[in-house]
Structure 1
Amino acid sequence: MQQLFYIHLVIVRQAIRKDAAALAVLLTQLGYPSPQENLDFVLGKIETYSAETYRLLVGEVDGDVVGFISLHWFQIFHSPGRMGRITAFCVHERVRSKGIGQYILTEAEKFLVAQGCTSVEVTSNLRRLQTHDFYLKHGYAETSKRFIKSLVPKQG
C-alpha cells in the first residue's frame, strides 16, 4: 500500500497587527504572561519590529500563524559585516517537529544575509534542551557564556 504525505505550505512574512492574538498565544508557550495580558505588549512590538534594524516574521500555514521569529541586526566593532540576532523564536506546540521551525529559521537567515549580516547569534534558556539540540542540528555552535544584569530595581 502506498503511503501519501500532505505537505502544508509555510508562508514566512512580516508580522502585522492582526497577528497579535496568535503571537500572544505563542509567547505564553514560551512561558510569558497570558495572551490577554500580552496583547497590548505584542501590538507595540509589532510596530517596533517594523523599524530599520528589527523584524518580526511569522510563519503561516493554511492562514493560521503557527510560529514567529524576531530579529535584530547591527554592526559590531571587532568584526566586518553585521551580526544578526534572533531575539525570540517559537513554533506552536501542535505543529512542532514537522519542519516548520526549520523553514522559518532558514527564511530568517536568508533575510539577515540580505541585510548584510555575516553571522547570526541566538541565546536560549538553559532549561530548553530540545531547543539547544535544534540549533546545533542547524549549524549553530555553542561558543560563549551570557551574562545579564538588570539595570532597573525590582518592583515590590
Structure 2
Amino acid sequence: MNLAFHKILKEDFCKALPLLQKLMKNQFSDDILMQRFEEMFEQNYECWGVYLDKELIGIFGLWFMTRHYVGRSCEPDHVFIKEAYRSKGIGKKVFTWIYEYAKSRGCEASELNSYVTNYPSHKFYLNEGYEIWGYHFVKKL
C-alpha cells in the first residue's frame, strides 16, 4: 500500500472540503466551513491529506499547543478515511505517521476528542493507547 501524507494548504482546502462534509454529515454550508478553516489556518492548525497513489482518500487536522497537564501536545482533529478504505490498516498508518510527526515538532503527548456516538473510533483510539481523561463540554454563546 503506497500511502503518502501531504499538507493541504489554505488555498487548496477546497480539495479536502468534500471529505470534511461527509464527516460532518453536511451540517454546515461549504461557505461556513471555508470561513472557519480560513481562521483555523492562522491558529497553530495544519491540514493533511492521506493519499493512496495519487487519490485523496482521507484527511485529518493537527492542532499544536502546550497544556499544563501534558506539556506540548498534538491534537488530531476531524480524522476521516473514505469508507471504501476503512478496516485496511490505514488508520493505524495515519496515526503512526502523526505520532512521529508530532515528536519531530517537540510534542510529548497526543490528545483528541471523539463524538460520543462514534463507537468505532472509540475502540480504535483505545487500541491506540489513548485513555479517557474527561469529558469535552461545549456551550454555544
Normalised to the residue count of structure 1, the TM-score between the two structures is 0.76
Aligned-residue identity in percent:
22
Q: Which has the larger radius of gyration?
A: 1
Q: Which runs of 5+ in 1 are unaligned?
A: 1-7, 152-156
Q: Cα–Cα, structure 1 residues 104 and 30, in superposed 2: closer, same or farther, change >3 Å? A: same
Aligned to 2:101: 111
- Change beyond 3 A, Cα 1:143–1:66: same
Number of the residue aligned with 1:65: 56
Scaled by the length of structure 2, the TM-score of the pair is 0.84
Q: Of 124, 141, 147, which residue of structure 1 is paired with 2:137?
A: 147
Counterpart Cα distance in 1 of 2:50 and 2:38: 15
- Distance change (3 Å), C-alpha of 1:147 and 1:43: closer
- AA matched with 2:84: R
The answer on whether the counterparts of 1:28 and 1:34 sit within 8 Å (CA) in structure 2 is: yes
1:6-45 alignment to 2 at 5 Å?
8-16=1-9, 17-18=11-12, 20-21=14-15, 23-33=16-26, 37-38=29-30, 41-42=33-34, 45=37
Instruction: Name the CA distance, whole Å, in 2 between partners of 1:115 and 1:125.
Output: 27
Q: Once the two structures are superposed, what CA deviation does each residue of 1:30-60 show, in whole Å capped at 9, x if it has no partner?
A: 134289x4278348737843x5722111110
Q: Structure 2: any 5+ residue segments left out of the alignment?
A: none
Distance in 2 separating the partners of 1:128 and 1:91: 14
Match for residue 98 of structure 1? 88
Size of the alignment, in residue pairs?
A: 140
Give SS of 1:69's match.
Answer: strand
Tell me the C-alpha RMSD between the 2 structures: 2.5
Equivalent position amino acid for 2:51 in 1:
E
Structure-1 residue corresponding to 2:122: 132
Q: Give the partner amino acid of 1:45.
A: F
